[in-house]
Structure formats: structure tokens, C-alpha cells
């Protein structure tokens, strides 16, 4: 599924109203199996679409400043479009604003950018592609209720993930909302 998502992102870029032959792809760490699978999908999608791409990633999901540096370096290569998986919703905004100023469309991969915050910073996101993280959190709550029963009560520890990570925040919100709906006790 992840490879399909990434391949879809690359193929969807072809539909942009700009001619793009080269894509810059900025990922989080490839040491994470999710992003490793995403890299394979990007490769397959680029091959299927017959386009060139270059992919860069940072060493860890916590390397926000290094990711900004990699983003700025990527702009020096002047890609026709950029696909980004930002470590948090704000770190890449200066770089992405510069990309917009250079006429480079920006694509948000897996909903890592907050569109409202980006717009306030002068960043236009061409589109986002990814999973519905609120729904994914809700599915986790549905599973928990199926295991414990709707009548179960007591405290539940929700681990959100890295601070400032919008996908983790959305999953936690989806989990809490669905749990409150299904098992209000």
C-alpha cells in the first residue's frame, strides 16, 4: 500500500499544469520502514511515469534542522517539482517558500504540512497525498474497543509520537474522538 501511495504521488504530479521532468523528493529517514517502503514506491512510480527524480533523506525522524539544510541544497538543483515529507509542519516553510518563488510546485507527502500554517507563511502547496491520519487513529480505537468491549472503562495511554509531528497529532485526535464515541466510559 505504501509503495502504491508513493507511486501515485509521482504519477499525480504529471497532471500538474507544468511540464516536469525532474522531481526532487525529500523524505524523512529511510531507516524507518514506512519511509523505506515509500522510497521504493517513488522509484517504481518514477520508472512507470518515465521521469527523473533524486531523493534525499535525513538520518533520523528528529533531524529537523538537517532536513531544512537538505531542502535548501535540493533547491540548488532546481527540480521541476518537489515532493516533501516534512519532519514537522513548520521546519521546511522557508525553503518551500523559496521553492514557490522559484516556480517549483510543492507536494505534501503523507499530510506532514499544516496547510493553514503554510499559507500564513506564504507557501502554496500544490496538493497533498497520503493517508487519512484521523481515520487511522479511529481505526486503532475501533480495534481497542473490539478487544475490550464497549463497556470497558479506565484510563488509556495514547502515545502520540514525536512532538510537533502533525500526523501523530491527527492519529491521536482520531483515536481519542472515536474512543469517546464508542466507549464513553
Q: pLDDT tens for residues 20-31?
A: 688 999 999 999
Domains of the chain: residue spans and CATH: 2-129 (3.40.50.2300), 133-182 (no CATH)
Contact 82, 110 (CB under 8 A): no
Percent of the chain with pLDDT over 70: 88
Asked if pLDDT for residue 105 goes beyond 80, the answer is yes
Q: For position 9, what pLDDT does the model report? A: 57
Distance CA 145, CA 150 (A): 6
Pick the closest to residue 140 from 161, 119, 109, 124 (CA basis).
161
Q: What is the C-alpha to C-alpha distance for residues 171 and 162, in angstroms, rounded to an integer?
A: 12
Evaluate if residue 70 carries a pLDDT over 80.
yes
Which of residues 4 and 37 earns the better pLDDT score? 37
Amino acid at each position: 500500500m505504501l509503495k502504491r501511495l508513493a507511486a501515485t504521488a509521482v504519477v499525480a504530479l504529471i497532471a500538474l499544469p507544468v511540464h516536469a521532468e525532474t522531481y526532487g523528493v525529500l523524505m524523512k529517514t529511510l531507516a524507518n520502514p514506512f519511509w523505506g517502503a515509500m522510497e521504493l514506491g517513488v522509484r517504481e512510480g518514477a520508472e512507470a511515469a518515465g521521469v527523473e527524480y533524486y531523493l534525499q533523506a535525513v538520518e533520523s525522524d528528529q533531524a529537523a534542522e538537517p532536513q531544512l539544510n537538505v531542502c535548501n541544497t535540493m533547491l540548488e538543483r532546481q527540480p521541476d517539482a518537489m515532493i516533501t515529507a516534512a519532519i514537522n509542519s513548520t521546519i521546511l516553510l522557508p525553503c518551500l517558500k523559496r521553492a514557490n518563488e522559484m516556480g517549483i510546485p510543492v507536494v505534501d507527502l503523507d499530510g506532514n504540512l499544516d496547510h493553514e500554517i503554510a499559507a500564513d507563511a506564504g507557501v502554496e502547496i500544490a496538493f497533498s497525498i497520503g493517508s487519512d491520519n484521523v481515520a487511522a487513529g479511529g481505526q486503532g480505537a475501533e480495534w481497542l474497543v473490539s478487544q475490550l468491549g464497549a463497556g470497558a472503562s479506565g484510563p488509556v495511554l495514547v502515545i502520540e509520537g514525536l512532538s510537533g509531528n502533525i500526523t501523530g497529532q491527527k492519529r491521536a485526535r482520531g483515536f481519542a474522538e472515536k474512543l469517546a464515541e464508542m466507549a464513553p466510559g
